[in-house]
Amino acid sequence: MAEELTARAAVTSADVARLAGVSRATVSFVLNDTQAHRVSDSTRARVLAAADQLGYVPHAAARSLRAGRSNLVLMPASVSAVGRLVSAWLDDLHSELERHGYTTVLHAGRFPDAVGAARAWAELRPAAVVALDGDGLTAEAAGVLRRAGVRATVAFAARPAEGVYTIAFDHARIGAIAAEHLISRGRTTIGVVMPKERGLDTFARPRLAGAEGVAARSRASVRAVEMAYTRESAAELAARWRESGLDGVFAYNDEYAALLMRALQGEGISVPEDVAVVGCDDLVVAALERPALTTVRLDLPAPARIADIVHELVGTGKAPEMPGVEPILIHRQSS
């Protein structure tokens, strides 16, 4: 049996107007709660009853256009890049934005350039765009958003762009801190794991560059090693490890670190004796790994604070500056 879902014509505000015996403009005034126009209580009640009877839902974009305000906050999101650390934080941020009356949508589209992305986001007419991975957000893209009525563009990024409220977050610092630590532990040939998974490249590349920058100022060398988050890929990398001569590795994050560590142990390679391993994120299980995992912790700003900033920017176009994200090395037994 094939499922059949009969497509009926969508209900429009014209249908509501007809049933209520009022103009389409009046329907719009009532449903969008526009204060600029006076509508009698009885007319208002008739419109609401008609909308209810027909099951009419106003367009978010149309409503934002008429009321001069959207309640959407759009966050560009590659779902796989949202790890355990960030997912709990994001949930809290969504709750805090809800407290201010906003609804969050995560936009999963991928685009060849920043302006193309901004155009796609702008089509939803959000009040604000909040980008966790804001390094690609250009002044030109911010202009596209602004002209489409987006009132706040907030980004975590290494460098500020014009028209973007930037919270400093330099992924190169993460790689640099990990490399500095490994060098301080006497390691001279350091691998940096580059995940093969899509969407992680934008975070992995600056981490590698940061490690390379530190190595260039020391006698240590840094080399990128590709790895997918699968048992096969980790085992294959571990099988070739001895010939690689690597005595330290920054494994992108705690998940890749834990997986690689187990694969290395499976090959009889000791951590930290043969290879020192450093992860990132200080996930709940990092301290429970054997050996306990050295990691780089990222103290993200309180979600309530970000939500306040978004709300202030939407309302007034201004917000006080915020301190950036400063990574901290947590030294444990794996290094």
Q: How far from 99 is each of 92, 103, 282, CA to CA, in Å?
A: 11, 10, 29
Q: Which of these ranges, 171-179, 185-193, 253-261, 300-308, lies near a copy of itself under the rule CB under 8 A?
A: 253-261
User: Rule CB under 8 A: is residue 269 a binding residue for a copy of itself?
Assistant: no
Task: Identify which of residues 210 and 303 has a Cβ nearer to a copy of itself in the complex.
Answer: 303
User: Rule CB under 8 A: is residue 26 a binding residue for a copy of itself?
Assistant: no
User: Rule CB under 8 A: is residue 302 a binding residue for a copy of itself?
Assistant: no
Among 259, 264, 276, 278, binds a copy of itself (CB under 8 A): 259
The β-bridge partners of 165 are 154
Report CA torsion sign: 288, 292, 296, 297: positive
| 35: Cα within 13 Å, side-chain hemisphere | 2
User: Rule CB under 8 A: is residue 94 a binding residue for a copy of itself?
Assistant: yes
> Cβ of residue 241: shortest distance to a copy of itself, in angstroms?
17
**Alpha-carbon 149 to chain mean position:** 22
Count of residues touching a copy of itself (by CB under 8 A): 81
Q: In whole angstroms, what is the distance from residue 139 CA to residue 242 CA?
A: 47
Q: In whole angstroms, what is the distance from residue 22 CA to residue 24 CA?
A: 7
User: Rule CB under 8 A: is residue 284 a binding residue for a copy of itself?
Assistant: yes
Binding mask 192-221 for a copy of itself (x = CB under 8 A): -----xxx----------------------
User: Rule CB under 8 A: is residue 54 a binding residue for a copy of itself?
Assistant: yes
Among 136, 143, 213, 301, binds a copy of itself (CB under 8 A): 143
Angular region, 306: left φ>0, alpha ψ -120 to 50, beta rest: alpha
